Amino acid sequence: MTETGEILVKVSRIHGLGVFAARHFKEGDRILEIDDSRVVTKENPLVKDKGEYETYCDYLAMGKVVLMRWPERHINHSCDPNSYVRAIGPVRYVYARRDCLAGKEITYDYCIDGGGDTVWQCNCDSYRCRKTIHSDFFHMPLDLQIEYLPLLSDWYIEQNQKKVDALGHRSDLWVPEPQGDAHDFW
């Protein structure tokens, strides 16, 4: 287990290692800053001997690929996430989507701002678990796409403007489910 005072990295019931709250985070609190300094390019490829694997990469605006660093590389996916990523200028941060008590695993939905055709079986075990996950945001159920609209990054919206606009026109048809610890099983 590794500790920073605000968060812990330890074994997760979801997958491998996970990031856990070492203190109570209230909705909207900044949990951590993401280190996007390791950009992966043809000239600067991943080095497996250094523990750099594609599974630790994040795909950003204009095809930029970054190697997720410790501890953010250990934030697991959940279909009912308690955090989200928001870019402020060139820096990305993880924020609490709802209150997260000390000891709870910090999770986000990997499909927010997601693209591509990666498919995997989810182990989050939340009441909202989609079981089979497709990495592309627009493959999620329509109600989740609409719910997650406010969490999309500006760059993602710009790259997918027509699809996002179409969702915005449908958002008046959707009523969100209540959030909170009543549905948080971790």
pLDDT tens digits for range 32-54: 999 999 999 999 999 999 989 98
Give the mean model confidence (pLDDT) for residues 115-131: 94
Helices marked H in the chain: 142-148, 154-159, 161-170
CB atoms within 10 A of CB 28: 10
Q: Quote the pLDDT of residue 169.
A: 72
Confidence (pTM): 0.85
Indicate whether 178 pLDDT > 70: no
The pLDDT score that the predictor gives to residue 171 is 59
Q: How confident is the model at residue 4 (pLDDT cuts 50, 70, 90)?
A: low
The better pLDDT of the pair 147, 61 is held by 147
- Residue predicted with more confidence, 159 or 184: 159
What pLDDT shows up at residue 175? 46
Torsion from C-alpha of 135, 161, 34, 14, nearest 10 degrees = -20
Distance CA 62, CA 1 (A): 36
- pLDDT cut 90: percent of the chain above it: 72
Higher pLDDT, 57 or 130: 130
User: What's the CA gap between 7 and 93, in Å, rounded?
Assistant: 14
Residue 18 to residue 10: CA distance in whole angstroms: 6
Q: Which of 64, 61, 62, 67 is nearest to 38 (CA)?
A: 67
Identify the residue with better confidence: 59 or 170: 59
Per-residue model confidence (pLDDT) at position 172: 57
Residue 177 gets which letter from DSSP? P
Q: Alpha-carbon torsion 150, 153, 156, 158, what sign? A: positive
- Give me the pLDDT at residue 55, please: 87
- Using the predicted structure, report yes or no on whether residue 123 has a pLDDT greater than 80: yes
